[in-house]
Amino acid sequence: MKIYEFFEKNAGLKDHVAIKFKGETITYGDLPKYVNSYAAYLQSLGVKKGDKVILSMPNCPEFVFSYLGSAKAGAVTIPLNLMYTMEEIQYVVKESEADTIVVHPVVLKNVDISAFGKLNLKNIVVLSDDTKKKIMEHDDFKQVEIDDDEVCTYLYTSGTTGKPKGAMLTHRNFEADVVAMDEISDLGPDDNFLCVLPLFHSFSWTVNVLFALYLGSTVTIKDNFMPKDTLETLLNEDITVFCGVPSIFAFLIRMVEKGQFKALRLAISGGAPLAPEVQRGFEEKFNFPLVEGYGLSEAAPVAMLNPLGVDEIRKPGSIGLPLPCNEAKIVDEYNNEVPVGEVGELILKGSNIMVGYHNMPEETEKVLRNGWLHTGDVAKKDEDGYYYIVDRLKDMIILGGFNVYPREVEEALMEHPAVREAAVIGVGDKYKGEEVKAFIVLEDGMTADRKELQNFLHDKLAKYKIPKIFEFVNELPKSPTGKVLKKLLK
């Protein structure tokens, strides 16, 4: 099944709302017309099978129409991170060999259209009201033969270790991920997903859009996360499923009273590690699941989830169990599987795993070895088969010959009542090689100092793991999905 066919299987729900956005509704009966018109319009511009189409737009229905329309025309769709600079955009355009870009007018408030004009693109489509009307006049879509194993998307990774890499994903990769999530859930047409995370991010696109449309659910789209608006929507618009990042759930614990959520029945956390105390606090207060999962762009992106059912076991601090489409192992540096409870690198195998990085055979060979995706994440597995991320291999601090995993230190710090957020990095030390440094965001109205936090950690961590350097800050730099940008801290 191709990604643009996910919603087509719900043709019997023609009067059921597929997308809600700022008072506008698009039904499952309406959706094919929008997708076909966008596909036909791109064809009229000369876009053909195998061409690359970049999308630069905030959350909106047109993002969905453009993405699915581009895929239906046989093109490879490339969603662009809205935080990219023009230099980064130029890199993606050149590396992907794209010749078409679809731009929302909102983007042009921050980037002059003339800058896009210098990118040697064949087509620059600005989705003005007039252009949107013109697009919907196209009803002459010409069917394209597309195989499920053909690449439909390049997802450019964050590039924390160099230039972004374009993970090449097929229709089958997305289908495997979505079908696997359906197998472990009881969600369906009666559900309403609230989408506030950016759609250019794979977590939001796969779960909030592809999964929801596959189920026949409603997707309520917000152009971004605004705390007050998000809160009012969750309380008043019959939202049943909400995907967020850990900081959003910590916010909801503080701002929502017990019993206020009337319809919400499932929350899914991704994008960054979920602190165990946030999960416990959320579930104890609201009495429905807050489920932590794990994924990466190379896996389309969801690879693991804690069980979704109210009565099923979710383990705080765990990323859960592999999806039915995945196998997982923890291996040592020699690729040997390690015993239960020991740490090693998490590797994955399954039908949702990318085919490789665009134009980067050497990088592809590094991560795809013997059919397994090497994630670069340090993890462990318990006796029940639940997995736990310990840290990123590249974030590990080596202090006088000892390994320190920042996430372990961060989670210990987060147990202090005055600490809202913590980020730990290694900084150079001429005697030990590296020293442990913690950046701390305190709860409003609360105080703590270096000595107090060090004493607090005394019974929780080995002495060498306790940060020697503390910096108290008002906020931590984050990506649009809430992941702390440690390269900026460094």
Same-domain pairing of 189 and 225: yes
Domain-ending residue, one of 361, 393, 425: 393
- Please list the residues that pair with 419 across neighbouring strands: 442
The CA R_g of the chain, rounded to the nearest whole Å, is: 23
Question: Could you report the per-residue pLDDT of 130-146, keeping only the tens digit for each?
Answer: 999 999 999 999 999 99
Query: What proportions of the chain, in percent to the nearest 5, are helix, strand and coil?
Result: 30, 25, 40
pLDDT digits (tens, 9 = 90+) for 397-441: 878 667 788 888 998 999 999 999 999 999 987 667 789 999 999
Same domain, 375 and 253: yes
The chain-wide mean pLDDT, for the chain, equals 93
Instruction: Tell me: pLDDT of 486 over 70.
Output: yes
Strand 402-404 and strand 76-79: the pairing is: unpaired
Q: Band of the pLDDT at 311, cuts 50, 70, 90?
A: confident
**First CA to last CA distance, the chain:** 44
Residue 186: band (very low, low, confident or very high) from pLDDT cuts 50, 70, 90: very high
CB 349 within 8 Å of CB 372: yes
Percent of the chain whose pLDDT exceeds 90? 81
Closest CA to 269 of 308, 235, 230: 308
At residue 401, the pLDDT reads 65
Are residues 263 and 408 both part of a single domain?
no
Quick one: pLDDT band at residue 159, thresholds 50, 70, 90? Answer: low
Task: For residues 215 and 285, state if they share a domain.
Answer: yes
Phi and psi at residue 180, to the nearest 5°: -65, -40
Contacts 24+ apart (CB under 8 A), 126-135: 127/57, 127/62, 127/66, 127/102, 127/103, 132/62, 134/41, 135/37, 135/38, 135/41
Q: What would the mean pLDDT of 42-58 be, rounded to a whole number?
A: 98
CA of residue 230 relative to chain centroid, distance: 18
Residue where a domain terminates, one of 340, 364, 393: 393
Annotate 290-358 with DSSP letters as a single string: EEEEEE-GGGSSEEEE---STTS---TT--BEE-TTEEEEEE-TTSPBPPTT--EEEEEEETTS--EET
CB 328 within 8 A of CB 387: yes
Q: Could you give the percent of the chain with pLDDT greater than 70?
A: 98
Same domain for 165 and 260? yes
- Given pLDDT bands bounded at 50, 70 and 90, which one contains residue 388? very high
Q: Tell me how far apart the alpha carbons of residues 251 and 68 are, in angstroms, rounded to a whole number.
A: 33
Could you tell me if 348 and 327 are in contact, meaning their C-beta atoms sit under 8 angstroms apart?
yes
What is the pLDDT, as a whole number, of residue 287?
93
For 428-476, the pLDDT digits (tens) are 876 677 899 999 999 999 999 999 999 999 988 888 899 999 999 999 9
- The rounded distance, in Å, linking the Cα atoms of 134 and 116 is 22
Cβ-contact 92, 164 below 8 angstroms = yes
Phi, psi dihedrals of residue 193, rounded to the nearest 5°: -90, 130
| Distance from C-alpha of 30 to C-alpha of 40, rounded to nearest angstrom | 16
φ and ψ of 339, to 5 deg: -65, 160
Average pLDDT over residues 312-316: 93
Q: How much is the pTM?
A: 0.86
Q: Which domain holds residue 439?
A: 396-489
Residues 382 and 402 grouped into a single domain:
no
Indicate whether 340 and 430 sit together in one domain: no
Distance CA 100, CA 140 (A): 20
Residue 87 in tokens: 């230099």
Per-position DSSP letters for 89-122, written without gaps between them: HHHHHHHHT--EEEE-GGGGGTS-HHHHHTT--S
Is the sign of the CA dihedral 471, 474, 480, 482 positive or negative?
Answer: positive
* Domain end point (choices 393, 409, 429): 393
* 110/254: higher pLDDT: 254
For 316, other C-beta atoms within 10 Å of its C-beta total 16
* 273 Cβ neighbours under 8 A, 6+ residues apart: 246, 389, 407, 410, 411
279 C-beta neighbours (distance < 10 Å), count = 24
pLDDT at position 481 is 74
The reply to whether 461 and 358 lie within a common domain is: no
Question: Could you give the count of Cα atoms lying within 13 Å of 38 in the half-sphere of its Cβ?
Answer: 26
The answer on pLDDT for 160 being more than 60 is no
Give the CATH number, domain containing residue 303: 3.40.50.12780
103 and 235 belong to one structural domain: yes
475: CATH: 3.30.300.30
Number of domains in the chain: 2
- Tell which wins on pLDDT, 44 or 163: 44
pLDDT over 90 (residue 86): no
Whether 161 has a pLDDT exceeding 60, the answer reads no
Higher pLDDT, 379 or 395: 379
DSSP 212-271: HHHHT-EEEE-SS--HHHHHHHHHHS---EEEE-HHHHHHHHHH--TT--SS--EEEE-S
CA–CA gap between residue 93 and residue 54 (Å, rounded): 8
Considering the domain architecture, whether residues 264 and 191 belong to the same structural domain is answered as: yes
The C-alpha atoms of residue 265 and residue 184 are separated, in whole angstroms, by 15
Question: What is residue 403's predicted lDDT score, i.e. its pLDDT?
Answer: 77
Statement to judge: residues 419 and 298 lie in one domain: no
pLDDT at 467: 96
**C-alpha to C-alpha distance for 200 and 202, rounded to whole angstroms:** 6
Q: How far is CA 98 from the centre of its chain?
A: 23
Question: Which of 50, 19, 52, 51 has its CA nearest to residue 35?
Answer: 19
* 164 and 105 co-located in one domain: yes
pLDDT digits (tens, 9 = 90+) for 256-310: 999 999 999 999 998 778 888 899 999 999 999 999 999 999 999 999 999 998 8
Beta bridge partners of 434: 428
d(CA 100, CA 120): 10
